[in-house]
Structure 1
């Protein structure tokens, strides 16, 4: 296959590689700023739209069930989440983010996240093109 006709899978691999390989410094900065392991922030982000069960949290974060329970217990002890009975199934509990959890999450998301050097080095025309393509993918 010629370089000028990459498949969607090849382009996706390039995008994910760029993002995954450049986020560690931001994750460390978030951890330093909030005092929470990044896994806790990831849980709070998943809870922002609404309550989830422990199983749903585990699936959404890619964590195993025991690690999810430990993390949620920690967030609960810190007052950042609360467990409540699921109104659709009283045998299950849902986890919700608290106001304090939203405050921590807002602080975490306000952590500066500068573009990786490869993106910062793009010309203004290339940045406009990339921006237009990414906006197209968002919709």
Structure 2
């Protein structure tokens, strides 16, 4: 039997991305159900949970959204009491968006939502899982 050709890093990355993205729909629906928010809004909250408050422009970049969609999302989240908009002390023309206590609680609910491995991964042998885990740890920052 001929050896398989050497995989290209871009091909391997594509396989990894599809394996993750294609198996997370049930988790996204569970997060939306548990938080009562569309998953796109949870994604915005999670970007704000990384530390400091963000300007709308920074938040749009972090959430991979355009500026108008970010403004709509922040307006909805502010109306729900999940984020606040405050004047940037360094630049009075800018507003900074930050999580409220209720927003942090919503992120905690999302983070606590079970996200089990897909059946295909759960079926890997212990040796295969150790090998894969070791390789993936090398990708982690």
The answer, yes or no, to whether TM exceeds 0.5 is yes
Give the equivalent residue in structure 2 for 1:50.
52
- Residues matched between the structures, number: 138
Q: Give the alignment of 1:1-139 within 5 angstroms.
A: 3-48=4-49, 49-139=51-141
3-state secondary structure, aligned to 2:23: coil
CA distance in 1, matches of 2:139, 2:44: 25
1:4 positional shift: 4.8
1:3 positional shift: 3.5
- For the aligned residue pairs, the C-alpha RMSD in angstroms reads 1.3
3-state secondary structure, aligned to 2:65: coil
CA distance in 2, matches of 1:127, 1:91: 51
1:87 positional shift: 2.0
CA distance in 1, matches of 2:62, 2:126: 36
Deviations 1:54-107 (A, max 9, x none): 111111112222111111011101111000111222111010011111111001
Unaligned 5+ runs, structure 2: none
TM-score, normalising length from structure 1?
0.94
Unaligned 5+ runs, structure 1: none
CA distance in 2, matches of 1:14, 1:26: 20
CA distance in 2, matches of 1:6, 1:98: 46
